[in-house]
């Protein structure tokens, strides 16, 4: 008999989504605009207190438009977290700008303020800094924002993984000049696929929407003074998002409980450390991760293989961008004085644990038993 699949992080649908989608069908709003799109933007803005929001068809599109708004292009450098998913930095290359990868620090696994300072010494005038809140843990935003302000460089927060996480009481994604969220299938809430651009600036948000809808000038005939994109969210997927948003706090509470359960279950195993949380923030705990102590004979691959045999899904830590073949010509600024990379170390010793909020107590027990079995 096929063993039950235990997922890393799969969509959790409640029924409210269907109601909004049905409404869209009933009123024939089956288009990349409509009442669900407008309402979803307002609801995200109200929830995060971001000011203004533009619903797009992906988080990647939101990063791309952020860079467009800042005018990043040929000859510009953009500083970006090194330990992240490639979507954080691909849009830099879409615009022919050059990414400079900034190492992680060990306290939150996010962009290192020390490495960021070093990067500014080497490249004094980058066009932007893109800071990721990895696995839902807020970055050291006070330090990062102070450095950005000192150099008059705008901060883009890639909060794709951290919707619902706060830093000193404020939602991640709302502290920088621009922020982005993702509603991809495995994120804390989903629209099946989608994203959001957010900003305190109404004009910037309007411009993002304009660029996302083919940059049509306000004329009766089809007139264009800019190159536009087809990036708008559909009214159907926005309906899914509205239904999901009603359950975001509940998802966050469940994710945090999963993290806590792993933390307690592995507390007596000195070789295991959970991914860090920022004491200045409240993380959504999107994915629970662990690292294995240096010098331990057990490797993440061994644990991931054993879990896979039980049909349990895991994932390695994101492979740092400076280690990616496609970015091998790009510069990398390490956190450590000796030039070694914190992100590479986390990648080598870490893994993501199943963090699906539909995991039953039995599922959690099974996962924990298998992991613990390695450290007896």
Residue ranges binding ligand PLP (CB under 6 A)? 58-60, 84-85, 87-88, 132, 158, 160-161, 182, 184, 195
- Maximum Cα–Cα distance across the chain: 73
Specify whether the CB–CB gap between 240 and 25 falls below 8 A.
Answer: no
Smallest separation, CB 195 to ligand PLP (Å): 4
| Cα→Cα distances 328→4, 93, 99, 323, Å | 40, 13, 11, 7
User: Dihedrals φ, ψ of 373, to 5°?
Assistant: -55, -25
CB environment 304-319: b (16+ within 10 A), e (fewer)? beebeeeebbbbebbe
Smallest separation, CB 335 to ligand PLP (Å): 19
Residues sharing a CB contact under 8 Å with residue 294, sequence separation 6 or more, in sequence order: 345, 349
C-alpha–C-alpha distance, residues 290 and 350, integer Å: 6
Question: CA 61, 65, 67, 73: dihedral to nearest 10 degrees?
Answer: 100
Closest CB to ligand PLP among residues 137, 166: 137
Residues sharing a CB contact under 8 Å with residue 163, sequence separation 6 or more, in sequence order: 48, 172, 173, 181, 182, 187, 188, 189, 248, 284
Closest CB to ligand PLP among residues 88, 341: 88
Smallest separation, CB 370 to ligand PLP (Å): 26
Closest CB to ligand PLP among residues 97, 371: 97
Closest CB to ligand PLP among residues 8, 269: 8
Smallest separation, CB 189 to ligand PLP (Å): 12
Specify whether the CB–CB gap between 254 and 286 falls below 8 A.
Answer: no
Q: Compute the Cα dihedral for 239, 243, 245, 248 and give only its sign.
A: negative
User: For residue 196, how many C-alpha atoms fall within 13 Å in the half-sphere facing its CB?
Assistant: 35
Smallest separation, CB 180 to ligand PLP (Å): 7
Residue nearest to ligand PLP (CB): 59
Question: Partners of 99 in the beta sheet?
Answer: 78
C-alpha–C-alpha distance, residues 184 and 69, integer Å: 23
Smallest separation, CB 134 to ligand PLP (Å): 7
Closest CB to ligand PLP among residues 84, 172: 84
Closest CB to ligand PLP among residues 62, 272: 62
Sheet of 272-274: strand order equals 272-274, 289-292, 350-352, 315-316
Closest CB to ligand PLP among residues 133, 247: 133
Closest CB to ligand PLP among residues 182, 344: 182
Smallest separation, CB 158 to ligand PLP (Å): 5
Smallest separation, CB 58 to ligand PLP (Å): 3
Closest CB to ligand PLP among residues 82, 158: 158
Question: Partners of 132 in the beta sheet?
Answer: 158
Question: CA 148, 278, 281, 13: dihedral to nearest 10 degrees?
Answer: 110
Smallest separation, CB 206 to ligand PLP (Å): 21
């Amino acid at each position: 008999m096929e063993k039950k699949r235990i997922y890393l992080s799969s969509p959790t649908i409640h029924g409210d989504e269907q109601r909004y989608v049905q409404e869209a069908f009933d009123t024939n709003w089956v288009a990349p605009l409509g009442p669900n799109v407008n309402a979803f933007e307002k609801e995200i803005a109200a929830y995060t207190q971001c000011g203004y929001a533009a619903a797009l068809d992906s988080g990647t599109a939101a990063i791309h438009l952020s860079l467009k708004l800042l005018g990043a292009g040929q000859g510009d450098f953009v500083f970006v977290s090194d330990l992240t998913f490639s979507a954080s930095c691909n849009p830099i290359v879409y615009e022919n700008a050059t990414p400079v990868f900034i190492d992680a620090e060990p306290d939150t696994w996010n962009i290192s303020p020390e490495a960021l300072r070093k990067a500014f010494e080497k490249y004094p005038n980058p066009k932007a800094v893109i800071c990721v809140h990895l696995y839902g843990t807020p970055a050291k935003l006070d330090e990062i924002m102070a450095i950005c302000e000192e150099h008059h460089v705008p901060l883009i927060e890639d909060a794709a993984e951290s919707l619902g996480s706060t830093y000193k009481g404020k939602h991640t994604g709302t502290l920088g000049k621009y922020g982005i969220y993702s509603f991809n299938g495995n994120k804390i809430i989903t629209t099946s696929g989608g994203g959001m651009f957010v900003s305190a600036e109404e004009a910037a948000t309007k411009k993002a929407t304009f660029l996302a809808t083919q940059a049509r000038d306000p004329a009766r005939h089809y007139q264009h003074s800019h190159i536009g994109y087809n990036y708008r969210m559909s009214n159907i997927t926005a309906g899914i998002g509205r239904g999901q948003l009603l359950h975001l706090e509940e998802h966050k509470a469940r994710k945090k409980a999963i993290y806590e359960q792993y933390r307690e279950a592995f507390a007596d195993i000195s070789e295991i450390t959970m991914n860090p949380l920022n004491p200045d923030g409240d993380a959504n705990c999107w994915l629970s991760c662990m690292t294995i102590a240096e010098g331990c004979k057990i490797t993440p691959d061994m644990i991931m293989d054993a879990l896979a045999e039980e049909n349990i899904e895991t994932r390695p830590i994101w492979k740092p961008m400076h280690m990616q073949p496609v970015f091998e010509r790009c510069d990398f600024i390490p956190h450590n004085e000796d030039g070694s990379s914190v992100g590479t170390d986390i990648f080598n010793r870490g893994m993501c644990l199943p963090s699906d909020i539909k995991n039953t107590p039995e599922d959690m027990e099974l996962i924990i038993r298998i992991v613990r079995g390695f450290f007896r």
